[in-house]
A and B are shown apart, each in its own frame.
Chain A
Amino acid sequence: MSGLSDESQPEPAVAEAGWRPLPPRARWLFVAGNVSALGGLAIGLLVPIGLLLRDTPLALPLALAVLVVLPGWGVWLALRQYACTRWRLDGHGYSLRRGRLWRHETFVPRSRVQHLDLQRGPLARRFGLATLVVHTAGTRHNAVSTAGLAADDAEWLRDQLARWIEHDDDDA
């Protein structure tokens, strides 16, 4: 297969400029989200383990393993997801890059922003974070949501993007 990957480049240098990471404290938001989801799944899995394997010596170790491994995996995944999330605002629009195994880079052109949402849950407020949702008139990617932005950054972004909407409306 090594012969096939000759066309893949590491990352073009031109694309790297201006990509900004999330603030370090945002990783706790990612961790909290994943641990609660996978922790719930682990607790859910205890039921079939208890029902099906009750009389076998496997039950206790398996239950403990599930309780430890799933949330642990959630933490590891959250840290990776956090590390791979980058956003960028340039003259053409807003970009969001996510994922490491499955990489997605979403771009919303400045002329296509319809409206903006700034969401702040209790946990996000506690850490001074916010979620910015950029809406377009599209179908599949009509709401591009960036969780874990620093509250100041999110507000700055919203103001910048909102200015574009006004600008384009004046044009029309």
Chain B
Amino acid sequence: MKARAIVVTSGKGGVGKTTTTANLGAGLARLGEKVAVIDVDVGLRNLDVVMGLEGRVVFDLIDVLEGRAKVRQALIRDKRVENLYLLPASQTKDKEALDPVRFQELVRHLLEEEGFDRVLIDSPAGIEKGFQTAATPAEGALVVVNPEVASVRDADRIIGLLEAREIRENLLVINRLRPKMVSRGDMLSVEDVVEILGLKPIGIIPEDEQVLVSTNQGEPLVLKGTSPAATAFMDAARRVHGEEVPFRSVDEAQGLMAVLRRLFGGG
């Protein structure tokens, strides 16, 4: 992606924004980029626990925006991979304190003065002020969507709002895809979601129990795992980084076995 400041958003909650931010951030760092991941969900901080860095939070985003801490004091360096930093959201302060203009200046500062190659902004759910603030510095967006009606509908709404903000480099992360249900015709396929939303996918992540396991352990999947979701997140990170990576076949609908299964009622 050309965009260096990227907002990770979805409209609907619980579709995997934070997991996507953590894994793409860690994946990009593995590829050699200097990455800052910023949690903008003031009051509902979660990126820190998903990444396993909750024990090291001292200052937060609002401390930085209000001048109580320098950005370098607030950034938490992830010791497991080089060049990965977390800027946590505030868990206690008033979210009105999150000023969009100051936030935009901070993101510019990270990219232009602090030597960051990429800033991933984990947006809160919804389409209100929190999302609007998260989107303010963004040059591009990753729209996380699950293949189900409520998530797709909300994603469509978010895409409209991104376009209204003249954010143009928008790509889909289709998360929690269940290939067996797709091949059975009981889940929207990647092609269906792409057709309905009119954006290209940059990541196709299969449903995978290891995502929860890694969250339990506080270690982003791409840092150690080789499970289907770990591989898919790493592939997505490579695409964001600019590599051409073909999509692995997660859609069992193709292929003779799938056709036979469908005819004879298996799957």
Task: Note whether A and B form a binding pair.
Answer: no
Residues of A bordering B, CB below 8 Å? none
Residues of B bordering A, CB below 8 Å? none
